[in-house]
Amino acid sequence: MTTDLHGLAAPYALDALDPHERGRFEAHLDQCAECRQELRGFHLTAARLAEAEADSPPLALRDRLLAEVATTAQERPVVTSIAQHSRVRRAVPRLLVAASFLVAAVSVGGYLVEHDRAEELRADTAGISAVMVADDATMLDGSVRTGGTMRIVASPSHDAAVVMGTDLETLDDDHVYQVWAMHDGIPRSVGVLGRGAGMMYAKSISGADAFAVTVEPDGGSPAPTTDPVAEMDA
């Protein structure tokens, strides 16, 4: 097996692989004890985090967690099936979700985001971690009409959100997914996600009553030029 398959363990645990990559990695798992052991480690670490005090974690615990997840992969949190609920709004299990999203940003950024955005995402790690552990953080899940799912974790107190697209259709080089915060039906761009599955840190979301995702020309547009492929009420 090629060494690149060994590097897919973390994005596989985060459900961030497309169907083809997931199939290749699952076939690889049958032959690779090292990857099976790594996945077991994800389960054990997630279980330890689940036992932590999640309501009001001490600052020291929070600091240790954020330091640890910068170098340790975690298992993805359990979420409600998108097939059963097209839109989900619920409180975020802060420690587990923070761990998995921070790992996505820091440890496997090259897989979850385009390579040219990995450094940008690492620079946003502090903001991402603040959103994920915020007391008022809420999670919005929605399906994408062209395939895949979108997840937005928003924190009004930080005026920011983390946006993650999973199993999205990969666009051509001339188009990108762009995310919009909606204010009484008026869209305002909060950033470009990229050409496929990935993550972004969005600022200045206060007052948004919904979010939308459209396909736009490379570089993004000042206003949507196509109908949304995903919409989520805030």
Phi and psi angles of residue 219, each rounded to the nearest 5 degrees, phi first = 100, -15
- Triad 107, 109, 113: Cα angle to 5°: 165
Answer whether residue 177 shows pLDDT above 80. yes
CB atoms within 10 A of CB 49: 21
Q: For residue range 189-230, list pLDDT tens digits in order.
A: 999 998 887 788 999 999 999 999 999 999 999 999 999 999
196: tokens are 């496929």
Cβ neighbours of residue 167 closer than 8 Å, sequence gap 6 or more: 15, 17, 18, 19, 147, 148, 149, 197
Helical residues (DSSP H) of 85-190, grouped into ranges: 94-106, 109-112, 118-123, 125-132
Provide the residue ranges of all domains of the chain, joining segments of one domain with +.
3-233
| Predicted local distance difference test score (pLDDT) of residue 117 | 54
What value does the mean pLDDT take over residues 105-129?
55
Residue 75 binned pLDDT confidence (cut-offs 50, 70, 90): very low
pTM metric for this prediction = 0.58
Cβ neighbours of residue 31 closer than 8 Å, sequence gap 6 or more: 1
What value does the mean pLDDT take over residues 55-62?
45
